[in-house]
Amino acid sequence: MGLPIYGQAAEPPTKPNHRPLWRSLEELAQGRSEARSPEFAPGADGPPDALSRRSFMQLLGATLAFAGLEACSPPREKIYPFVRQPVGLVPGQAVHYATAATLSGYATGLLVRSNEGRPTKVEGNPNHPASLGGVGPFQQAMLLDLYDPSRARGFQKKGRQLSYRAALLELSTLARSHEKDGGARLRFLADPSSSPLLADLRRRILARFPKARFTAWDPLSDDAARDGGRIAFGAPLEARPALGPADVILSLDADFLGLGPDQLRLMREWSSRRVPGQLNRLYQVEPGLSVTGMNADHHLRTRAAEVAGFARAVAARLAAKHGLAALAPLGEGAAPNPRADVVADDLARARGRSLVLCGPRQPAAVHALAHALNAALGNAGATVRYRKPVLNDAATGPAGLAALAAELRAGQVDTLVVTAANPVYTAPADLGLAPLLEQVPNAIYFTLHDDETADACGWMLAASHPYEQWGDARGPDGTVALAQPLIAPLFESMGEVELLAAFLDQADLGPRRLLQDLWRERRGGAAFDAEFERWLAAGVVPGTAEPAEAPAVQSAAVAQALRDLKPAGAGGLEVSFVPDYKTLDGRFAPNAWLQELPHPVSKMTWDNAAYLSPATAGRLGLVNGDLVELQLAGRSLTAPVWVQPGHADDALTLPLGYGRRAGGPVSRNVGFDAGRLRRGDAPWFAAGAALRKLGKRHAFAVTQTHDSMEGRPLALDFTAAGWEHEKGELEEHRGEPASLMPQMHAYEQEQYRWGMAVDLSRCTGCSACVVACQSENNIPVVGKEQVERRREMQWLRIDRYYQGTAAEPEVALQPVACVHCEKAPCEYVCPVNATVHSDEGLNEMVYNRCVGTRYCSNNCPYKVRRFNFLDYRGEMAPTEKMLMNPEVTVRTRGVMEKCTYCVQRIERARIEARVAGRLIREQDLKSACQQACPAEAIVFGNLNDPQARVTRLHQDERRYDLLHELGTRPRTTYLARLRNPNPDLA
């Protein structure tokens, strides 16, 4: 391949009656339509090769090693054998429990399904304001971590094994040794927390040891946001945006649809406006292409250091043309920017109904400027409100960690209790934290995995999984969620509450007692115990949201902060560090579900890459897979290149969370560690990087180009302005297709006619539905080698297509699973009648009949059927089955599998409806993908119910059928995506 791959001469492949789509830069450059590409890659349909030892261990390390669970100790509390059936537990009937999971200290309310006492599926809690019933990939994948056999287990002190009781006694004894000096040589390094219980324990520890200190460390810290509030308002207030009433949104490097503690709520609010007549408009300013950028009406690629200049240009335009004089000092010196002028004019037209967001990677001065813009535009109190910080920690970034490192270097610490997640791996490279921990006499590490930090600490205490603990935490708005254990600890471990309580000689009280005592003191009454049970059942403590503030912007302080802002560096490439959509900061690297989940933008699995733009790649002579050496501030690393359409020029984006050297067989040596270039004074982006091509290649496992649908119209979209003139185009993609084959069954006369509708305007490509399907249906992972051969097993995929040029593409997204054709091509060719149709319209698979001819896959035009080439699970130990959904068959090698519309959920709802003497109601039944979707893009239900939402969507004017011209009569239909571009930026 040469540099012409990324040129603009070639025409993109075409499709009838709509704008052309392309899947990769190679396809765009060669002008090759899907019709000319083979259905399968060379070797993909051949016999399987032997797996390498490394791949075998990666895959089966998360399965075969489950046998070690059989040696688990019994719970420390009294439990009862299943001789007499516990009250409320009916074999075969699932029970749901409310709990919560925290990331970066913020809680997300969850509902967890339990089958015979073992958690098997995670959903969102509709009572919690941060989830609203939706759930993200991370919270769902935590379930796999619960049963991970590579989890840390037991307690060690300098190579000596301790029992649970002995460990608590050792901690209490160590704590008493610090009483003489008031804890002057005692330090705690913790994850950020919003837990009232942990805050109370910390307060009491500091009362006992007044010279001790807690330091919080988060590699994804949002300190800049709090500091920006301090600059703008004189207090560290946090912005809480409301996207529902916002007509125009300017996002300054804020990936609010892809990541963040409030992502699920913001996705719900944003998607609620992506309907005809209510379309908002989103401008995304960022260096790479994020999930938010894919969904923006305008993706304005800008180097990270130049985002501040863009925002200042917006302020200057608002002051000069629209009379917002308060913004004049904030826009002084801004370079002219025609795109910023257009954005400013649009914001001005929507005063009081606009919104400016700023991402955590931007400096505090840019956050302060965003607050000033919202105030001047009249958005405060309408589309954005302000609240006091929810976290217990005033700062969570590199400054506090650097101060602690200085104390360690000076030998001023005898005992360091580390509850932060793997700080040796996540700390800035210039701190050199590992050798500092090794010299601490008592470095106590509390961890879920035996990782890089465990290797540097003398003590290792196994942490209980979040689904095994009691606790509490606050959501982004301050609402307190209660966490309750869903299962007794599978390994000998303890919770953070027990660890801290040991420093107060109160570990014997137990975490539930400590939690209840705290809330009895705060909200106690005569009926507290009953009220506490109601809180547990609902998952939230009512009346705990933080009240809104009404601060005034201090324009002079904001102007001074902007003057003090360092200018963008010149020379070399700009390097940007971003959290990864699958591993986050590395804590989810041991999770095989997430490693194999295709990246929402690049569709890469089991890897990360150095992303750069087509123009920069062409200038440097690079193509996908080239290995390069990156150098920045005296440090270097080797990374493979991925050329990303829509990326800013002269910039590199490096995802964090890979290149782990420890933590389990799944995470070890996958990808490269971008943190090796990260510095404490430049944690998010830095200029001056150099790149050297090494002349070697790296193979990626990318799923987007795996299947071909022969160049046909796929993810259809329209602009809001052109919709009324162009919507007639959809007529040829819906309705009764011409056919010589008679209708085989009168489905309209049945009680139930199951169908699905997917609104492409709402779908953000977040992949929550993919993980939900994998968890619900016991879908195995296959590993990178098998994904490279196009043998991934996910039943649901999210196709990503580009439109336009490689430099400024638009993105089209389309979730695709089995569409349950009424005239299914797969059924006609199966020689053993393994794929059949039900009288309610489900395309069913009979696994016992399937002999693996794969004729059905060859004949499926949607390419949604998956074949089990290998036995990816290995020999299953009895305890391994704890993860599996008992209502879904666990398949072995040699059968075809695919989406079933969650038939097990249909049958469960049918049984419950029959017992109640009624029909299945719409609220009784949701497919796993529908229930998980935070954007409510997927709707499933009974098409014979005229009042059902799915029926109304099938009749919507945006409805079309994928590959309608084939006459397959799919039960899954799509609603065309609508965009709302600004004609001034056309």
Give buried/exposed letters for 43-54 (b at 16+ CB in 10 A, else e).
eebeeeeebeee
Owner of token pair 């260096």: 287
- Distances from the Cα of 474 to the Cαs of 109, 195, 549, 809, in angstroms? 10, 6, 18, 39
| pLDDT bracket for residue 732 (50, 70, 90) | confident
pLDDT of residue 477: 94
pLDDT of residue 159: 87
Dihedrals φ, ψ of 692, to 5°? -130, 125
Query: Which strand ranges, in their side-by-side order, compose the sheet holding 471-474?
Result: 471-474, 480-483, 540-541
Which run of H or E residues covers position 160?
Answer: strand 160-162
Dihedrals φ, ψ of 687, to 5°? -95, 170
| pLDDT bracket for residue 662 (50, 70, 90) | confident
Q: 265-295, pLDDT tens digit by residue? A: 999 999 999 999 899 999 999 999 999 999 9
The yes-or-no verdict on residue 65 having pLDDT over 50 is no
Which tokens is 763 given? 């779908």
Owner of token pair 């990666």: 58
Give buried/exposed letters for 509-539 (b at 16+ CB in 10 A, else e).
ebbbebbbebbeeeeeeeeeeebbeebbebb
> Residue 955 CB: number of other CB atoms within 10 A?
12
The yes-or-no verdict on residue 709 having pLDDT over 70 is no
> Which whole number is the average pLDDT over 579-604?
95
Owner of token pair 């609220």: 923
The yes-or-no verdict on residue 12 having pLDDT over 50 is no
> Residue 250 CB: number of other CB atoms within 10 A?
30
Q: What percent of the chain has pLDDT over 70?
A: 90
Q: Domain 3-43+705-738+752-983 falls in which CATH fold?
A: Alpha-Beta Plaits (3.30.70)
Which DSSP state fits 309? H
Q: What is the second-level CATH architecture of the domain 155-219+401-541? A: 3-Layer(aba) Sandwich (3.40)
Q: 872-897, pLDDT tens digit by residue? A: 877 765 666 789 999 999 888 889 99
HSE, side-chain direction, 13 A CA sphere, residue 800: 26
Which run of H or E residues covers position 347?
Answer: helix 338-349
> Which whole number is the average pLDDT over 593-611?
95
Which tokens is 967 given? 């006459």
The yes-or-no verdict on residue 20 having pLDDT over 90 is no
> Which whole number is the average pLDDT over 918-942?
95
Task: Determine contact, residues 665/53, Cβ cutoff 8 Å.
Answer: no
Owner of token pair 């420093």: 503
Q: 157-202, pLDDT tens digit by residue? A: 998 999 999 999 999 999 999 999 999 999 999 999 999 999 999 9
Residue 909 identity (one-letter amino acid): A
The yes-or-no verdict on residue 900 having pLDDT over 70 is yes
Pairwise CA distance, residues 524 & 517, whole Å = 9
> Which whole number is the average pLDDT over 910-919?
94
| pLDDT bracket for residue 708 (50, 70, 90) | low
| pLDDT bracket for residue 85 (50, 70, 90) | low
Q: What is the 3-state secondary structure (H, E, C) of 531-591?
A: HHHHHHHHCEECCCCCCCECCCCCHHHHHHHHHHCCCCCCCCEEEEEECECCCECCCCCCC
pLDDT of residue 74: 43
The yes-or-no verdict on residue 248 having pLDDT over 70 is yes
- Give which of 690, 552, 555 is closest to 610, Cα–Cα: 690
Give the chain's mean pLDDT. 89
pLDDT of residue 965: 87
Q: Is beta strand 155-157 parallel, antiparallel or unpaired with respect to 459-462?
A: antiparallel
- Give which of 848, 886, 854 is closest to 867, Cα–Cα: 854
The yes-or-no verdict on residue 46 having pLDDT over 90 is no
> Which whole number is the average pLDDT over 645-657?
95
Q: 954-984, pLDDT tens digit by residue? A: 999 999 999 998 889 999 999 999 999 999 9
Beta strand extents in 242-295 (DSSP E only) = 248-252, 281-286
pLDDT of residue 17: 45
Q: Domain 238-387 falls in which CATH fold?
A: Dimethylsulfoxide Reductase; domain 2 (3.40.228)
| pLDDT bracket for residue 61 (50, 70, 90) | very low
> Which whole number is the average pLDDT over 919-936?
95
The yes-or-no verdict on residue 19 having pLDDT over 90 is no
pLDDT of residue 143: 94
Give residue limits of the domains in the chain.
3-43+705-738+752-983, 155-219+401-541, 238-387, 569-702
Q: 66-80, pLDDT tens digit by residue? A: 333 333 444 455 544
User: 238-387: same fold as 3-43+705-738+752-983?
Assistant: no
Which run of H or E residues covers position 639?
Answer: strand 635-643
Give buried/exposed letters for 718-753 (b at 16+ CB in 10 A, else e).
bbeeebeeeeebbeebbeeeeeeeeeeeebeebebb
CATH number of 569-702: 2.40.40.20
DSSP codes, 856-867: HHHH-TT---EE
Task: Determine contact, residues 645/653, Cβ cutoff 8 Å.
Answer: no
The yes-or-no verdict on residue 58 having pLDDT over 90 is no
pLDDT of residue 84: 59
pTM of the entire predicted model: 0.91
Q: What percent of the chain has pLDDT over 90?
A: 74
> Residue 324 CB: number of other CB atoms within 10 A?
24
pLDDT of residue 16: 40
pLDDT of residue 1: 33
pLDDT of residue 9: 34
